[in-house]
Amino acid sequence: SYELTQPPSVSVSPGQTARITCSGDALTKKYAYWYQQKSGQAPVVVIYEDMKRASGIPERFSGSTSGAVATLTISGAQVEDEADYYCQSADSSGNLRVFGGGTKLTVL
Amino acid sequence: QLQLQESGPRLVKPAETLSLTCAISGGSIRSSTLYWGWIRQPPGKGLEWIGTVYYSGGTYSSPSLKSRLTLSVDTPNNQFYMKLSSVTAADTAMYYCAGAGYCTGASCGFDPWGQGILVTVSS
């Protein structure tokens, strides 16, 4: 299918591990990309090609996939990690892009 | 460093056409990346992919917008455009342009992004 599904919200205390999932059939064949969007700012890539960390992103951010589910993990989440997170992939042709609905991460 | 900047009218009347420009600096529309894209975000909502355009002129559009959308490139002026016709209040959103980034072959994310432009559809 041409949809990606994310939980609307995830909440953790500082120092805990936050996991945000993204599910969709497209992920069995296409890479997942993860974006962080802080309030009033444009999105920024944090993870690309399922598990590679983008330039300048702290090591506590990691990505993984299993079947049709991609997961963004923030190990030891910090208050500054509070943001909306979006996954993105492509359809089976690779030509159409799609974003997940977004997950609001609260760290407090 | 590649930078993108959106411009265009911030207020569009219902049924009219929304026209936006994305100016590229610090790089070439021909060679800096594989393709260029448009993404929008209604107030308080999530990101929606609008479409992508290649410097050769090839385009791909969201199925939900395809009938109203025109994407194009302006190579001499190093910019690209989107036009969305017959707009309604549902098209009110922050509109972002972006370049293809972190590519392996034809698989890319979107990086960098412009700062976005808020377009309101209202009479």
How confident is chain B (123 residues) per 10-residue block, as mean pLDDT? 97 98 94 92 98 91 97 94 98 97 90 98 97
Report the pLDDT value the prediction gives residue A92, as an integer from 0 to 100: 86
Task: Please choose, from the candidates B76, B1, B68, B77, the residue with its C-alpha nearest in 3D space to the C-alpha of residue B38.
Answer: B68
Is the Cβ–Cβ distance between B79 and B17 less than 8 Å? no
Which among B48, B102, B114 has CB closest to A42? B114
* Whether A61 contacts chain B with CB within 8 A: no
Q: Of A97, A98, A103, which to mutate for an interface test with B (greatest number of B Cβ within 10 Å)?
A: A97
CA–CA distance, A107 with B20 (Å, rounded to integer) = 36
> Which two three-digit tokens encode residue A23?
């599910």
Q: Scanning every residue of chain B, which has its alpha carbon at the shortest distance from the alpha carbon of A45? A: B111
Report the pLDDT value the prediction gives residue B31, as an integer from 0 to 100: 83
* Segment 76-95 of chain B within 8 Å of chain A by CB: none
State the pLDDT confidence band at A5, using cuts at 50, 70 and 90.
very high
Report the pLDDT value the prediction gives residue B109, as an integer from 0 to 100: 95
Which among A42, A54, A84 has CB closest to B113? A42
Cα torsion through A42, A45, A37, B10, rounded to 10: 20
CA–CA distance, A11 with A17 (Å, rounded to integer) = 10
Q: How far apart are the two ends of chain A, measured CA to CA in Å?
A: 35
* Predicted confidence (pLDDT) per residue in A24-50, tens digit: 999 999 999 999 999 999 999 999 999
